[in-house]
Amino acid sequence: MNIFQYLIPMNTPIVSTTQLSFQYPNSAPIEFPDIYIEKGQHTLLLGDSGSGKTTLLNMLGGLSRPETGQVNIYSQNLSLLSNSKLDQFRSQYIGFIFQEAHLLKNLTLVENIKLAQSLAGKKVDISAIELILKQLQLDQKSNAYPNELSRGQLQRAAIARSIINKPALLIADEPTAALDDNNTHRVLKLLLSIAETAGSTLLITTHDKRIKDQFSKMYLLK
């Protein structure tokens, strides 16, 4: 059951933030620009190492709480949710693609994706899982364990797990890091295609200036 459905009016932005800042111990506060992202408005957060990209990503995804300001996903202010409610909201509405796949090593690929559905409070949908694995050319690897997958297959497996619940917001952290031009283009095309198919809005954090022309909306972090 989707306990947050009533919180989502029509035409509400996917992401909006106001006066965000974050402070690490014994450090000066980091201030961030206000962000406003509409549904389907795939967006790039571009900045060099140390510019606060990961910190901002963690706040937008509900993994960290800001020192000041607020993050709204749809109309929900994440700071108002308890930790348990935040976990549930995140599993329903936000998908993460980290640089490492973080699959459970003792579960097969298909079992990892089933678990993602269960954690979101959704009924396991085998046909949906089979479809996404086929789209990502992983249908022959559904019963493989993570240590039996190549690096490229692990990356696609992480995408499959993140998108299976059709999250409103799909966050990818440095998805093209260490890739050559050809593979950068392939991965970016795949992410945009998968996001469109799932009805998700893609948000990428990166230092990779090669991909900035692929996005109509960009925030530059300094």
Model pLDDT for residues 56-87, shown as the tens digit of each residue: 999 999 999 999 999 999 889 999 999 999 99
Give yes or no for a contact between 43 and 217, defined as CB atoms under 8 angstroms apart.
Answer: yes
What pLDDT does residue 146 have?
95
Residues in contact with 75: Cβ distance below 8 Å, sequence separation at least 6, in sequence order: 7, 8, 9, 12
Whichever domain contains 160, its CATH number is 3.40.50.300
What pLDDT does residue 6 have?
42
Range of the domain at 198: 12-221
Burial state string for 70-106 with b = 16 or more CB within 10 A and e = fewer than 16: bbbbbebebeebeeeebebbbbbbbbbbeeebebeee
Torsion of CA 126, 130, 100, 219, to 10 degrees: -100
- What span, in angstroms and rounded, lies between the C-alpha atoms of 222 and 50? 8
From first CA to last CA, the distance across the chain in angstroms is: 41
- What span, in angstroms and rounded, lies between the C-alpha atoms of 26 and 12? 37
What pLDDT does residue 204 have?
94
Give yes or no for a contact between 85 and 160, defined as CB atoms under 8 angstroms apart.
Answer: no
Specify if 7 maps to a domain. no
Specify if 107 maps to a domain. yes
Q: Taking the model in full, what pTM does it have?
A: 0.86
What pLDDT does residue 10 have?
60
Specify if 18 maps to a domain. yes
Specify if 95 maps to a domain. yes
Specify if 4 maps to a domain. no
What pLDDT does residue 8 have?
56
Specify if 3 maps to a domain. no
Specify if 30 maps to a domain. yes
Segments of the chain with pLDDT less than 70: 1-10
Residue 20, number of CB atoms within 10 A of its CB: 22
The partner residues of 202 in beta bridges, in order of sequence, read 170
Number of domains in the chain: 1
Residue 4, number of CB atoms within 10 A of its CB: 17
Specify if 2 maps to a domain. no
